[in-house]
Amino acid sequence: MIGDRNRLVEFWKPSGAVNEANEPLPDAWVPYKSKWAHIKGETGMGTIRAAASAGGVNTPLDRYSFRVNYDTSITIDMQVREKDGTRYNILSVRHDKVDRNWTDVVAETGGSNG
């Protein structure tokens, strides 16, 4: 555990495996690395704003922010996974370019892959 980063999560990336038609396999993921993260859930207002921007339609997706040590190798093509098997699709990645202390990963669970 590193400070308030108290949850060990795994980052997974697409394996690059393809089918006979040379199309990527949708569930072909491989572990990339583990990192200690501080996880924050979306606030109530954030949920309301997301529903409003979606035309008032509530979706069963839950968004979370994972703050890890600075790491520019993490991309939006990856997934975050918890030890309990929960998968999160990464929506955005933001790096602390000034001090290089953290990388924030915004991800959601409840979709087709997450």
Domain boundaries, the chain: 7-16+23-109
**In this predicted structure, what is the pLDDT of residue 53?**
56
Closest CA to 61 of 23, 108, 106: 108
Element containing residue 31 per DSSP (H, E): strand 29-41
For the chain, which ranges sit under pLDDT 50? 1, 44-45, 47-48
**In this predicted structure, what is the pLDDT of residue 25?**
84
In terms of phi and psi (left: phi > 0; alpha: psi -120 to 50; beta: otherwise), the region of 69 is beta
**In this predicted structure, what is the pLDDT of residue 58?**
54
**In this predicted structure, what is the pLDDT of residue 103?**
97
Element containing residue 102 per DSSP (H, E): strand 102-109
| Assigned CATH topology for domain 7-16+23-109 | Thrombin, subunit H (2.40.10)
